[in-house]
Amino acid sequence: MTTGAISPEHTILPVYFHMDYAIVQGERFKRGFKGLPYEDKIIPLGSPKLDRIIRMCKSGEVKMPKRMGKNCKGQANTDAEYQYQLSA
């Protein structure tokens, strides 16, 4: 997992020029390779672990633990706010 961005210095590593394909977590990450000769070899398929967590939170299958709400103070203090932050 990454923050969703790639540094320009990383995009010139030799491995990218010699790869068949690279699976990345999303379109945002792929945009970091825009205009490079191997851009078409970058395939955004998502992150199965993170996708599952987001799906479970959106469906209401999982709720934020009450003890976590106490620690958040002024952040995501309700399940709805917590789920919104995950989907944003």
Which helix (H) or strand (E) segment holds residue 82: the answer is helix 79-87
0.75 surpassed by pTM: no
SS3 helix, strand, coil % of the chain, rounded to 5? 50, 5, 40
SS3 42: strand
CA-closest candidate to residue 2, choices 34, 47, 56, 48: 47
Tens of pLDDT along 19-37?
999 988 888 888 889 999 9
Mean pLDDT of 62-81: 60
Give the per-residue pLDDT at 40.
95
Which residues, 6 or more positions from 41, have their beta carbon under 8 angstroms from its beta carbon?
A: 19, 20, 21, 22
Round to whole Å and give the CA distance between 76 and 61: 18
Judge whether residue 1 has pLDDT over 60: no
